[in-house]
Chains A and B, each alone.
Chain A
Amino acid sequence: MTIRDFSIRLGLTLIPIILSILATAGLILLLGGDPISVYSTLYESAFQDQTTVARVLNVWIPLTLVSIGLVVTFTAGLWNIGVEGQMVMGAVFASWGALFLDLPPILLIPINLVLATIGGLLWGVLVGILKTRLGVHEIFGGVALNAIANNIAIFLIAGPWEPPEGGSAQSTAPFPENALLPTFSVDFPVPTVLLVITIVGLVIVGFLLYFTRWGLELKAVGKNARSALLLGVRTERVSLMALALGGAFAGLAGAHRVLHFYASLRPLVSGGIGFLGLLLVLLVGFRIIWMPFVGFVLAGLLAGSTRLQALQRIRPELVGDSSLVGVLQGLLVLMILYFNGIRERWFARDKARKANIHE
């Protein structure tokens, strides 16, 4: 790669980032806010000190967990939009354990994590069965199962799992202390178990994808399912496996939401983190290596948006909430996709021109 090529590549990566930040700033101005205050608040509330970093990590853990699963499903060529519902089902299963099993933490926590994994896995497999057996595309199966999972959660919160003092349909009773995930410390409230699982999961799945026959089969199915089938890969089984694994990771992410973040089950418990995971995986172009780092930035933005909203009462120039951060993240991914296209066109043309000169 020549210096010229490198600087073009660098430029075509930086321009979309700058453009999306500027465009979002324009929108903030449009609503009468002050973009610089908004951005600096977002930055401070994410990366200022230990407490804020812990806040970001508590978004980063579920985000990275769902994204690990999504890399697997994307590699198999599947659009696992059902990841949100898989998170919710994981959360629901873990909540059942937290509410109704009275065991010491040493037993209860592993059991609840396993329950969450099973919940997400089942919901993922359901998408897979709908696709492989009944021909329902995973996007539609996923969208429907997302809505159904959320409805089930709302039903449980407002009905059978209503707190004894009568509920507002806003959440179940807070979970007992022994069901909550133990954290590093009071000053650094990040659940140790899930942080470890996340990092180990990243490494293992990365290894499996790049260095094993299974990873190769996934890629073969993702690139061209028909040829893979002709070469003897059992494509249906590979798809089901990928969705099961994706669901399992999403279920664990759901466990983080209920066993730590909210310490109860709430409606729309995923908080859009599943969809953010899809954006993250698109943003890094399916490369698992970049995922934890870029994910940290996205998690920081999402965590910062809560702070932004909290500060609005005293500082009206801070407009926006999680939807503002959603706009910024969406624009970023859209711009990156566009500039990928522009780069590919540029280098194709460049190559053609060079080829002409040499002739």
Chain B
Amino acid sequence: MNDALINTLNSIIASATPLIIASLGETITERAGVINLSLNGSILLSAMAGFAVATVTSSLWLGILIAMLIGAVIAFLVAFGSLTLKQDQVAIGFVLTLLTADLAQFLGTDFQNIEGPVAREITIPLLSDIPILGGIFFEHDAFVYFSFVLLAVVWIFMFRSRAGLSLRAVGERPEAAFSRGVNVTTQQYLYTIIGGALVGLAGAAYSLGVKAGWQATPAMNGDGWIALAIVIFGGWHPARVVFGAYLFAILRSLVSIIQRDPNIDIPVVLLNNLPWILMIVTLALVSGGVIDRLLQMLPLHWQRRLRGILRSNPPEALGQVFNNQK
């Protein structure tokens, strides 16, 4: 395998990282039955704040911490507005996504286009010596390694721990969870805030990592929406969500390869539509009847097996606010 290909694959892994962290965070939140629609703005504000704090204090860790804190606070605002004050969850999330994006723009003016600290690349000893794979997976900054660990942690937590079981119960059958003594609202607060902190970390993974710095038109604008779509495409399952994030990163890298190729003459702006078209197509595939129709052409026992893998069903009580007085 040649070096150019290894480099491309390496950069795909890097550019998928913030998407992975954000969509895993949102997966946790939505599994608990809460939709945090503020992702796009949350990522922008935490990216800006993380970069600003890291620049002023020249401490990466402080920047990351502030970014996570901001993500968590925004998520808390969603939870408070919807779970406690019983206002429309989507409305609160949508208003917050606009508000935080404007806030990032307004407060970030002084930090536009300046050099700041960037997470440095850490080459993992031994593992990076593995031919091919070492160059693809083990020459990255810490955010990337964290995203590998995060997938494992979220998966084990969700499917192999008692707390994870109750998390899923809260999102699927809140009444049943409640009658078993689970405090539904407290759990939803907890997982919304944890998910939000991860979204904030994703912001830092942009501004202190792959898309270092802060601009008047931030490069990561729009990715929050893509992350939300990836959660649906991933069927609220951490492994599939990560797969979805890599799929998007691969497509984007293809777009930039086509752009650089002098022989192919497609305007860049039209190529920029591809990720959005992919978003619509994948959502149509997993949520509509398209999959069912395609599956019906296959033999029966294949149908059953594939349906389980391909279909994407939201947590039963997603977006419904639990009211224990009912």
Contacts from A to B (Cβ < 8 Å) = 27, 30-31, 79, 81, 130, 133-137, 139-141, 143-145, 147-148, 151-152, 154-155, 158-159, 275, 278-279, 282, 320-321, 323-324, 326-327, 330-331, 333-334, 337-338, 340-342, 344-345
B95 and A330 within 8 A (CB): yes
B105 within 8 A of A: yes
Q: Report chain A residues within 8 Å CB of B109.
A: 31
Q: B225 at the A/B interface (Cβ < 8 Å)?
A: yes
With beta carbons under 8 angstroms apart, the residue of B107, B110, B273, B279 that contacts A140 is B279
With a cutoff of 8 Å between Cβ atoms, the chain B residues found around residue A320 in the complex are 106
* B290 lies within 8 A of chain A by Cβ: yes
A-B contact pairs, 19 of them (CB 8 A): A130-B280, A135-B288, A136-B280, A136-B288, A139-B37, A143-B222, A148-B277, A158-B269, A159-B267, A279-B98, A324-B106, A327-B99, A334-B77, A334-B95, A337-B81, A337-B85, A337-B88, A338-B85, A344-B86
With a cutoff of 8 Å between Cβ atoms, the chain A residues found around residue B225 in the complex are 140, 143-144
B94 on interface, CB distance cutoff 8 Å: yes
17 further contact pairs, Cβ within 8 A, besides A135-B283, A135-B289: A27-B103, A30-B107, A31-B107, A134-B287, A135-B284, A140-B279, A147-B273, A148-B277, A151-B273, A321-B106, A326-B99, A327-B99, A327-B106, A330-B96, A330-B102, A337-B87, A338-B81
Is A341 a contact of B270 with CB atoms below 8 Å?
Answer: no
Interface presence of B90 (CB below 8 A): yes
Q: Mark B261-277, 1 if CB is under 8 A from A, else 0.
A: 00000010110110011
B130 at the interface (CB under 8 A from A): no
Bound complex: CA A341 to CA B86 (Å)? 6
Q: Which residues from chain B contact A152 at a C-beta distance below 8 Å?
A: 269-270, 273
Shortest CB distance A42–B (Å): 14
Alpha-carbon separation in the docked complex, A165 to B311 (Å): 53
Cβ A135 vs Cβ B287 within 8 A: yes
- Top-3 shortest CB links A-B: A341-B85, A330-B99, A326-B102
A345 to B110, CA, bound (A): 42
Does B136 reach chain A (CB closer than 8 Å)? Answer: no
Closest-by-CB residue of A relative to B282 is A136
Taking CB atoms, residues of chain A closer than 8 Å to B287 are 134-137
Q: Cα distance A151–B270 when bound, in Å? A: 6
With contacts A330-B102, A344-B86 known, is A282 near B279, CB below 8 A?
A: no
Which residue from A133, A140, A147, A340 sits with its C-beta under 8 Å from B87? A340
Chain A residue, CB-CB nearest to B84: A341
Most chain B CB within 10 A, of A30, A144, A159, A275, is at A144
Do A323 and B106 have beta carbons less than 8 Å apart? yes
Q: Check A155 against B270 for contact (C-beta < 8 Å).
A: yes
Cα–Cα, bound, A158→B90 (Å): 36
Chain A: CB-nearest residue to B286: A135
Number of interface residues of B (CB under 8 A): 45
Interface residues of B in 61-84 (CB under 8 A from A): 77, 80-81, 84
Residues of A close to B272: CB separation below 8 A: 147, 151
In the complex, what's the smallest C-beta–C-beta distance from B155 to chain A, in angstroms? 25
Which chain A residues lie closer than 8 Å to B229 at the CB level?
A: 140
Q: How far does the alpha carbon of A324 sit from the alpha carbon of B99 in the complex, in Å? A: 10
CB distance from B189 to the nearest CB of A (A): 15
Residues of A within 8 A of B88 (CB): 337
Q: Tell me whether B249 is interfacial, beta carbon within 8 Å.
A: no
Contacting pair B94 A278 (CB below 8 A): yes
> Which B-chain residue is minimally distant from A126 (CB atoms)?
B280
Known contacts A144-B280, A337-B81, A341-B85, A134 near B102 by CB under 8 Å: no
Contact flag A333-B81 (CB < 8 Å), given A143-B225, A144-B279:
no
B232 cross-chain contacts in A, Cβ below 8 A:
137, 140
The distance in angstroms between the C-alpha atoms of A143 and B223, with both chains bound, is: 11
The CB with the most chain A CB atoms within 10 A, among B77, B90, B96, B284, is that of B284
Q: Give CA–CA (A242, B232) in the complex, Å.
A: 25
A338 to chain B: which residues have CB within 8 Å?
80-81, 85, 87
Judged by a CB distance under 8 angstroms, whether B228 is at the interface is yes
For B284, give its contact among A136, A282, A321 (CB under 8 Å): A136
CB pair B95 A27 closer than 8 Å: no
Known A-B contacts A151-B269, A334-B92, A337-B91; A27 and B107 likewise in contact (beta carbons under 8 Å): yes
Decide yes or no: A337 and B95 within 8 Å by CB, A136-B283, A143-B225 being known contacts.
Answer: yes
Verify B289–A282 contact, CB threshold 8 A. no
With A151-B269, A326-B99, A334-B99 already in contact, the answer to whether A79 and B90 are too (CB < 8 A) is yes
Contact (Cβ within 8 A) A334 B96: yes
B94 touches A81 (CB 8 A): yes
Chain A residues within an 8 Å CB radius of B279: 140, 144
B80 nearest in chain A by CB position: A338
B106 to chain A, nearest CB (A): 4
Contact assessment for A327 and B94 in the assembled complex, using a CB-CB cutoff below 8 Å: no
Across the interface, which residues of B come within 8 angstroms of A147, CB to CB? 222, 272-273, 276
Q: Are B85 and A342 in contact (CB under 8 A)?
A: yes
User: Nearest Cβ distance between residue A66 and chain B, in whole angstroms?
Assistant: 15
Q: How far is the CB of B277 from chain A (nearest CB, A)?
A: 7
Collect the chain B residues with CB atoms within 8 Å of residue A145's CB: 276
Report which residue of B81, B267, B272, B276 has the largest number of chain A beta carbons within 10 angstroms of its beta carbon: B276
Residues of B within 8 A of A137 (CB): 232, 283, 287
Query: Which residues of B have CB within 8 Å of A31?
Result: 106-107, 109-110
A136 partner residues in chain B, CB cutoff 8 A: 280, 283-284, 287-288
